[in-house]
Amino acid sequence: MDPKAVFCPNLACPARGQVGRGTIVIHSQQEQRYKWNQCGRTFAATSGTAFDRLRTAVDLVVLGVTLLAHGCPVQAIVAAFGVDERPVVAWQARAGAQGERVHQHLVVQPRDLGQVQADELCVNQQGQRVWMALAIQVPTRRWLGGAISATRDGRLIAQLVATIRACALGRPLLIAVDGLSSYVTAIQAAFREPIPTGRRGRPRLRPWNDIGIGQVIKHRAGRRVVSVTRRIVQGRATLVARLIHQTQGHGGLNTAYIERRNAPFRARVAALGRRTRALARRTATLEAGMYLIGTVYNFCTAHDSLRLDGIIGGHKWLPRTPAMAAGLTDHCWSVQELLAYRVPPPRWTPPTRRGRPSKELQRLIAQWCS
């Protein structure tokens, strides 16, 4: 136990989320609990992780979640380890919630994306079909996020584009999608910024500079693709060609990277298979599986196309994960490390009150907001 590496998770504490301030002590070595002297609260070492208040052995949970993240059926885990089905389903829900927290904290941050590709998957649900929209960053193969909806409409695409917008800096960007018209409307609405005028009222919005939108439309006859139409909806052709060269090196406008990225989802979520009897009974379970597979892919899976020439220790290749290629981490995470990662809560902000703040509030502001 290292008190210098943890933070207080109490949302009512003004020192929440701050590490290395010297006010956390070990409360109980046997029970693995810390104490924060500022608010007097105690908390477990597993607080804020997927292992919080879990009575099952950590090794068994990590092994079960690893199998779930690689497409092993729940019934197979039940038969192999002799456990009940309900705890295994609960492990998946815990791991999905932990993956979503890690994803929102580390992945959904403004960065230079270069090129993004997006696509939708049809999911077989009991009594109906739902749609899952996904997006990746092409240079790093990093999964940016996804959205789930009962219909393949503008609301689904708007949720996905909002995630892409939250991950993007104001740099030249190419977004390659299929022929769904909702993409163009959602991208043009999301990638805008206000023009400051100094006057009262809502300022006008202008589109981002150097935003390219490309569509790849596949024409089918039955189940076969007979022709492909590529068109640039927005942006200069020279900009699109330059971004394609910078992000993928060769080739033309395509959605091959996101379609290749869909393969692990289809292989690891049975309901995403094209011809399968498996059904996703609940949307919450499908969303938990999406974040579990996505975060394991980003942080725990080395990608062959991202490896570097080995120059240290005589290794032929140096493996890299999408998170390593994007600069989010410096090593390949294990599944246990992913499940045990503690996401800090948002920093405390002083309450807004009329009049002069009290001396106690001024002291808290000087101590924890500096």
Around Cβ 190, how many Cβ atoms within 10 Å?
Answer: 18
Tens of pLDDT, residue by residue over 114-140, are 899 999 988 877 777 888 899 999 999
**194 has a pLDDT exceeding 70:** yes
**pLDDT for the residue numbered 157:** 92
**225 has a pLDDT exceeding 90:** no
List the beta strands (DSSP E) in 278-354: 308-309, 317-318
Q: How many Å apart are CA 128 and CA 121, to the nearest integer?
A: 14
Lowest mean pLDDT: which of 25-29, 111-115, 179-183? 25-29
242-to-110, 187, 210, 245, 248 alpha-carbon distances in Å: 22, 20, 11, 5, 10
Q: How many Å apart are CA 311 and CA 215, to the nearest integer?
A: 40
pLDDT band at 202 (very low <50, low <70, confident <90, very high): confident
pLDDT band at 228 (very low <50, low <70, confident <90, very high): confident
Q: How many Å apart are CA 190 and CA 108, to the nearest integer?
A: 15
Q: How many Å apart are CA 71 and CA 265, to the nearest integer?
A: 9
Average pLDDT on 182-200 reads: 86
Tens of pLDDT, residue by residue over 92-119, are 899 999 999 999 999 999 999 989 999 9
- 19 or 54, greater pLDDT: 54
**pLDDT for the residue numbered 209:** 82
DSSP string, 46-61: TTTSTTTT--S-HHHH
Tens of pLDDT, residue by residue over 142-153, are 999 999 888 888
Amino acid at 310: G
- 234 or 359, greater pLDDT: 234
Tens of pLDDT, residue by residue over 305-342, are 888 876 665 667 788 999 999 999 989 999 999 998 88
**159 has a pLDDT exceeding 90:** yes
pLDDT band at 73 (very low <50, low <70, confident <90, very high): confident
Contact between residue 232 and residue 211 where contact means Cβ atoms under 8 Å apart: no
**pLDDT for the residue numbered 271:** 63
pLDDT band at 367 (very low <50, low <70, confident <90, very high): low
For CA atoms 275, 276, 277, 278, the dihedral sign is negative
Q: Could you give the maximum distance between any two Cα atoms of the chain, in Å?
A: 75
**pLDDT for the residue numbered 100:** 92
pLDDT band at 20 (very low <50, low <70, confident <90, very high): low
Q: How many Å apart are CA 26 and CA 32, to the nearest integer?
A: 8
**pLDDT for the residue numbered 173:** 92
**pLDDT for the residue numbered 346:** 77
Average pLDDT score, the chain: 83
**pLDDT for the residue numbered 203:** 79
191-to-70, 167, 175, 205 alpha-carbon distances in Å: 35, 12, 11, 10
**361 has a pLDDT exceeding 90:** no
Q: How many Å apart are CA 137 and CA 172, to the nearest integer?
A: 13
Average pLDDT on 280-291 reads: 82
Tens of pLDDT, residue by residue over 234-269, are 888 999 999 999 998 888 888 889 988 888 888 877
